[in-house]
Amino acid sequence: MMYLTHILVFFFFITFSTVHAHSIQQDSTAEELLNNRINANKQVLAMITSYRHRFQHSPNFEALRWALSEKLTPPYCEVCHVVVPLVSLMYS
């Protein structure tokens, strides 16, 4: 008798607690939030790319790059730029 009671309780629990997928409405707010987030990320990426492009082509950055390249470049690198193409021509 006890098993029958457990089976009936289990049956009623399963019957009344199941949710049919057709009864759940699509939540468009989650999709809208996701699309807004993706659009915001695209706008931020475009803005960063624009700033990077402007920064790289600014005359101040070019002057800074030129000034630092002479300080940071060892003198033997100029020799390497001449010797490496010559060596590659010899082996070709």
Q: What percent of the chain has pLDDT over 70?
A: 76
Residue 22 has pLDDT above 80, yes or no: no
How far is 22 from 46, CA to CA, in rounded Å?
41
Whether 68 is covered by a domain: the verdict is yes
Q: Residue 12's pLDDT band (boundaries 50, 70, 90)?
A: confident
Cα–Cα distance list, 56 to 27, 36, 52, 69, 71 (Å):
44, 30, 6, 15, 20
Whether 45 is covered by a domain: the verdict is yes
Whether 52 is covered by a domain: the verdict is yes
Whether 28 is covered by a domain: the verdict is no
Whether 78 is covered by a domain: the verdict is yes
Whether 3 is covered by a domain: the verdict is no
Predicted local confidence at residue 74, as pLDDT: 66
Whether 18 is covered by a domain: the verdict is no
Q: Which two tokens stand for residue 75?
A: 């003198």
Whether 5 is covered by a domain: the verdict is no
Residue 49 has pLDDT above 80, yes or no: yes
| Across 6-10, 51-55, 65-69, 74-78, least confident range | 74-78
How many domains, in total, are found in the chain?
Answer: 1
Structural domain of 67:
38-92
